[in-house]
Amino acid sequence: MTEPSDTQLDLVMLHGWGMNSAVWDGCPDCWNGLSQHRIDLPGHGHSAFQPGLDSLWRWADACLDAAPERAVWLGWSLGGLVAMAAALRAPKRVAGLVLLTATPRFVRAADWTPAMPEDTLEQFHAGLTQDPQGTLERFLALQVRGSDSARETLRTLKQELAQRPTSNPDALSLGLDLLRDEDLRGQLPDIPCPALWLFGSHDALVPQGVAERVELLMPGARTHVIQHAAHAPHLSHPEQTAGLIRSFIDACVESPAGA
């Protein structure tokens, strides 16, 4: 197995639900010395969707198959959930985790109040059958709601989404199931690599209150709330977000986990 060098590290980048790997095109160029691996989730962008890809763990396996032997994994939203599963599935292959507006549990529960109501996902499920394009557009609008640059961020998201093929409807439906059903809270202490969690203070999908819960569930993890950002801080606040990610990645290079 190849360990990262002192000057270069592989970076796996996973987008969110209904998106594709073009969402990283709008990020500032802070990846000098990094080998990027922008992976489309199953059924999204250029990634095929096979019948056997029917669980979070199968999605993690598919991404691991497309990833280098060892890398830092950057996951946005649903991509963060997949990145967590990959770190649990193959801990020696994940040198670090950057979890961008992600959460181990997306829906609200009695013991997990900083989350979205399950009804919100059910509405998207119903809309996906009746009006797929309109449902995606409503989801895009929800991701930028509350950001101090919502209009510009929404325009960027739409432009980037249009650069890849339309997502597979079955993959979109399963992705909503994963957001509704998966709960990795109890497994967070089993993730051995360094982790950075980034949240937006105005995020309507993953409230900033998740940060406090993560600090209790995953001792040693770093958390940071980006002020005035919503669910896509890498687009609305690119320089700040990139700086935080780059500092974390540089620390992983200096002290590689599992080395």
Q: Which residues are annotated as a binding site?
A: 17, 77-78, 139-143, 231
* Residue 231 falls in the annotated catalytic set: yes
- Kindly name the residue from 37, 44, 231, 237 that is annotated as catalytic: 231
Nearest to 67 by CA among 13, 4, 148: 13
Residues annotated as binding site for substrate?
17, 77-78, 139-143, 231
- Kindly name the residue from 10, 40, 61, 203 that is annotated as catalytic: 203
Secondary structure (H, E, C), the chain: CCCCCCCCEEEEEECCCCCCHHHHHHCCCCCCCEEEEEECCCCCCCCCCCCCCCCHHHHHHHHHHHCCCCEEEEEECHHHHHHHHHHHHCHHHEEEEEEECCCCCCECECCECCCECHHHHHHHHHHHHHCHHHHHHHHHHHHHCCCCCHHHHHHHHHHHHCCCCCCCHHHHHHHHHHHHHCCCHHHHHHCCCCEEEEEECCCCCCCCCHHHHHHHHCCCCEEEEECCCCCCHHHHCHHHHHHHHHHHHHHHHHCCCCC
Q: Is 184 left (phi over 0), alpha (psi -120 to 50) or beta?
A: alpha
Tokens of 104: 């181990």
Amino acid at 210: V
- Kindly name the residue from 21, 47, 77, 167 that is annotated as catalytic: 77
Instruction: Give the number of C-alpha atoms closer than 13 A to the C-alpha of residue 38, restricted to the C-beta side.
Output: 15
* Residue 203 falls in the annotated catalytic set: yes
What are the two backbone dihedrals, phi and then psi, of residue 73, each rounded to the nearest 5 degrees?
A: -110, 125
Q: Which residues are marked as active site?
A: 77, 203, 231
